[in-house]
Amino acid sequence: MRPLKIVEAVPNISEGRRENVVQEIAAAFGSVPGVVLLDVSSDASHNRTVLTAVGEPDALVDAALALYASALDHIDLRTHRGEHPRLGAVDVFPFVPIENVDMQECVALARRVGHEVATRLNIPVFLYEEAALDPARTDLAAIRKGEFEGLAAKLRDPAWKPDFGPKAPHPSAGATVIGARVPLIAFNVNLGTDRLDVAKAIAKSVRHSSGGLRFVKALGIDLAEKKQVQVSMNLTDYRKTPIFRAFELVRLEAERYGVPVVGSEVVGLVPAAALFDSADHFLRLIDFEREQVLEDRVRKALESRA
């Protein structure tokens, strides 16, 4: 059998209140053969839904176009209200490499989908993160600044000419941001104290925005029912800022306050490589190769057989 190329697609749509609309858009997205819808999470106050699906690149192109068409039918940004910033009906659409596929293939996939969406639906498309053609568009927040309401003015600025599509917003669907990125890891470290100020100080010291590690976002959070506090992190590129380094830095900073680390947690999914890297670090492994993982080796042998 040919090895499956597995890509994850995580579109964020600007609808989190009308359940029937979310279901209809999710059905359009998930019913393409070869695409498996893993999760649909709506947030009513954000009025936004995150869909997660996996599949091979070609199947995901079809699924993406079906999602955009359905969102165009059902979402009108002119009447959309919600707490989360947004630029379009399908607000952000990242592709994430999972297996037998590299970042470059996901970048190509994002650009292909961007071109199709612009051409078929007349929606302006910005390419972001690893798929960005313009380094100023790497950061999603910069692209989304001004939101839907400021979009017409933004698109008149030559610096914000879209990567594909018209230089004016789609009347109801706004614009969309498509790209490729590594999987995010939500990783929290719990501290054996009820002092929220300690968690906040540590979060500040480890996060990128205030001088910490390059690919860490962090907040101090109260876990009142446990009488603990937590450094809650998003690791936005585990290949460059690995889990173990974030963990060890939090532990070291906590020592300065005489506070112990009582545990940590991965929220949701984590790539196998991120855990292998942690084992490799703490065991001080020499020259460890991914192909030494028994199941990977076996799968590769079975796939190359036919």
Q: Which of 20, 79, 209, 295 binds a copy of itself (CB under 8 A)?
A: 295
298 binds a copy of itself (CB under 8 A): yes
98 binds a copy of itself (CB under 8 A): yes
Distance of CA 90 to the CA centre of its chain: 14
- Alpha carbon separation from 50 to 2, 16, 96, 146, 220 (Å, rounded): 31, 9, 14, 21, 25
- Measured from the CB atom, is 103 or 168 closer to a copy of itself? 103
Q: Which two tokens stand for residue 265?
A: 């947690």
As a whole number of angstroms, the longest Cα–Cα distance in the chain is 60
Q: Which of 46, 84, 115, 281 is catalytic?
A: 84
97 binds a copy of itself (CB under 8 A): no
- Measured from the CB atom, is 81 or 102 closer to a copy of itself? 102
Q: Which of these ranges, 42-50, 168-176, 206-214, 271-279, lies near a copy of itself under the rule CB under 8 A? A: 271-279
Q: Which of these ranges, 85-93, 130-138, 151-159, 269-277, lies near a copy of itself under the rule CB under 8 A? A: 269-277
Residue 84 known to be catalytic: yes
User: Among residue numbers 66 through 95, which ones bind a copy of itself (CB under 8 A)?
Assistant: none
268 binds a copy of itself (CB under 8 A): yes
User: Among residue numbers 33 through 52, which ones bind a copy of itself (CB under 8 A)?
Assistant: 36, 38
Give backbone dihedrals phi and psi of 183, rounded to 5 degrees, phi first: -65, 140
Q: Measured between alpha carbons, how far is 70 from 68 in angstroms, rounded to an integer?
A: 5
> Where would I find the H helices in 75-195?
103-121, 140-144, 151-156
54 binds a copy of itself (CB under 8 A): yes
Nearest-approach distance from CB 45 to a copy of itself, in angstroms: 27
Q: How many Cβ atoms from other residues are within 10 Å of residue 15's Cβ? A: 22
29 binds a copy of itself (CB under 8 A): no
Q: Measured between alpha carbons, how far is 74 from 15 in angstroms, rounded to an integer?
A: 9
- Alpha carbon separation from 158 to 129, 162, 236, 293 (Å, rounded): 20, 9, 30, 50
Nearest-approach distance from CB 249 to a copy of itself, in angstroms: 13
SS3 262: strand
- Measured from the CB atom, is 36 or 142 closer to a copy of itself? 36
Nearest-approach distance from CB 261 to a copy of itself, in angstroms: 6
* Residue count, binding to a copy of itself (CB under 8 A): 47
Residue 247-266 contact track with a copy of itself, rule CB under 8 A, x = bound: x-------------xxxxxx
DSSP-assigned letter for residue 168: S
Q: Which two tokens stand for residue 218?
A: 């962090």
2 binds a copy of itself (CB under 8 A): no
SS3 13: strand
Which helix H or strand E contains 243, and what residues bound it?
A: helix 243-256
Q: How many Cβ atoms from other residues are within 10 Å of residue 50's Cβ? A: 17
Q: Which of 165, 183, 212, 220 binds a copy of itself (CB under 8 A)?
A: 183
**Which residues are tagged catalytic?**
84
Q: Which residues bind a copy of itself (CB under 8 A)?
A: 4, 6, 8, 36, 38, 54, 98-99, 183, 190, 243-244, 247, 261-266, 268-272, 275-276, 278-288, 292-298, 301-302, 305
